[in-house]
Amino acid sequence: MNRPLDARRVNVTIDANALDKDGTARDAVVDRALRLRQAGKIRFVIPAGVRREIEHPKTPQTVKDAVLPEIFTMPVGLNPQEQEFRQRLIAALQGNALPGKHAADAYHLAEAGKYGGYFITHDERILKKSGDLQNLLPPSLQIVTLERFLEIVDDYESGAAL
């Protein structure tokens, strides 16, 4: 794996589940990420499909409040190369699942690859397949959990990553 990019210098894309709180110690991790964003130390860019998912009525209000004000991508038509890229991502994510089941995740990753240095997710399927996906995605994009992302931020802040 390439040395992680300085998370303070690149766009950070997130999955719809990245900022979910669950009443555990994870809540403090989410709060810390939001404080870093508020302080201008990290910059979130929300893939258009993630934004649509977060607008769902059952999404917790705390997640909506954290994500909806962020910069987001706009859905645009895809050229043939981008369509092929998305199809390769869909195939890599699908495995033996029902066709189309992971198309939205492929869309999120395609957007993250275009606009971000990180894609934060807690989706087990994406994390499990991240090695295979790295062969398809730009080398600059890292798929990480929120916890791993904050470790990278800490390494840069302390100078350990330099």
Residues 57-99: pLDDT tens digits? 888 888 888 887 777 777 777 788 888 888 888 888 877 666 6
Cβ neighbors of 147 (< 8 A, separation 6 or more) are 29
Angle between helices 146-158 and 26-38 (to 10 degrees): 50
Closest by CA position to 34, among listed 14, 58, 5, 57: 14
Residue 27's pLDDT band (boundaries 50, 70, 90)? very high
Closest by CA position to 110, among listed 47, 51, 53: 47
11-158 under CATH 3.20.20.210, yes or no: no
Q: What is the pLDDT of residues 106-127, one digit of tens each?
A: 888 988 888 889 999 999 989 9
Is residue 30 pLDDT above 80, yes or no?
A: yes
What are the extents of the domains in the chain?
Answer: 11-158
